[in-house]
Amino acid sequence: MGPDLRKRWPAYQFPPLGSSSAKSPPGRAEPSGILLLSLPVFSGRFLLLLPATPQPHCRPPRTPEKNRGGVNLSILPVDMEVLRSILSCFSSRSRSRAQSHALWSSGASDKNKSMVEQLQRYGIIRSSKVAEVMEAVDRGLFVPPGGSPYFDSPMPIGYNATISAPHMHAACLELLEKNLQPGMRALDVGSGTGYLTACFALMVGSEGRAVGVEHIPELVATSIENIKRSAAAPQLNDGSLSIHIADGREGWPELAPYDAIHVGAAAPQIPEALIEQLKPGGRMVIPVGTMFQELKVVDKKLDGTVSIRDETSVRYVPLTSKEAQLHAN
Tell the smallest beta-carbon distance from residue 151 to ligand SAH (Å).
14
Could you give the string, one character per residue 234-263, with x where binding to ligand SAH holds by CB under 6 A and - elsewhere?
-------------xxx--------------
Tell the smallest beta-carbon distance from residue 38 to ligand SAH (Å).
31
CA distance linking residue 112 with residue 131, whole number of Å: 11
**C-alpha separations of 125 from 2, 148, 234, 292, 314 in Å:** 9, 20, 25, 25, 18
For ligand SAH, the closer CB: 196 or 203: 196
Tell the smallest beta-carbon distance from residue 148 to ligand SAH (Å).
15
The yes or no reply on residue 287 touching ligand SAH (CB under 6 A) is no
CA distance linking residue 92 with residue 300, whole number of Å: 46
Tell the smallest beta-carbon distance from residue 95 to ligand SAH (Å).
21
For ligand SAH, the closer CB: 17 or 324: 324
| Catalytic (active-site) positions | 164
For ligand SAH, the closer CB: 235 or 320: 320
Tell the smallest beta-carbon distance from residue 212 to ligand SAH (Å).
9
Choices 91-99, 132-140, 178-186, 190-198; region in contact with ligand SAH by CB under 6 A: 190-198
Amino acid, single-letter form, for residue 212: G
Strand partners, 46: 41, 78
Could you give the string, one character per residue 144-163, with x where binding to ligand SAH holds by CB under 6 A and - elsewhere?
---------------x-xxx
CA distance linking residue 143 with residue 68, whole number of Å: 33
Instruction: Give the ranges where the chain is alpha helix by DSSP (H).
Output: 5-8, 80-92, 97-105, 108-121, 128-136, 166-176, 195-204, 217-228, 233-238, 272-276, 322-326
- Identify which of 26, 58, 268, 67 has the alpha carbon closest to the alpha carbon of residue 171: 26
Whether the Cβ atoms of residue 165 and residue 99 lie closer than 8 Å to each other: no
Cα 151 to its chain centre, rounded Å, is 12
CA distance linking residue 193 with residue 225, whole number of Å: 9
Tell the smallest beta-carbon distance from residue 249 to ligand SAH (Å).
5
Tell the smallest beta-carbon distance from residue 53 to ligand SAH (Å).
18
Amino acid, single-letter form, for residue 40: P
For ligand SAH, the closer CB: 145 or 190: 190
For ligand SAH, the closer CB: 24 or 226: 226
CA distance linking residue 127 with residue 203, whole number of Å: 12
Residues 25-84 that bind ligand SAH (CB under 6 A): none
For ligand SAH, the closer CB: 122 or 142: 142
Whether the Cβ atoms of residue 241 and residue 227 lie closer than 8 Å to each other: yes
Residues 195-234 that bind ligand SAH (CB under 6 A): 195-196, 213-216, 219
The yes or no reply on residue 284 touching ligand SAH (CB under 6 A) is no
> With CB under 6 A, what is the number of residues at the site for ligand SAH?
25
Choices 59-67, 176-184, 299-307, 316-324; region in contact with ligand SAH by CB under 6 A: 316-324
Cα 22 to its chain centre, rounded Å, is 21
CA distance linking residue 141 with residue 138, whole number of Å: 6
Q: Which residues bind ligand SAH (CB under 6 A)?
A: 159, 161-164, 190-193, 195-196, 213-216, 219, 247-249, 264-265, 317, 319-320, 325
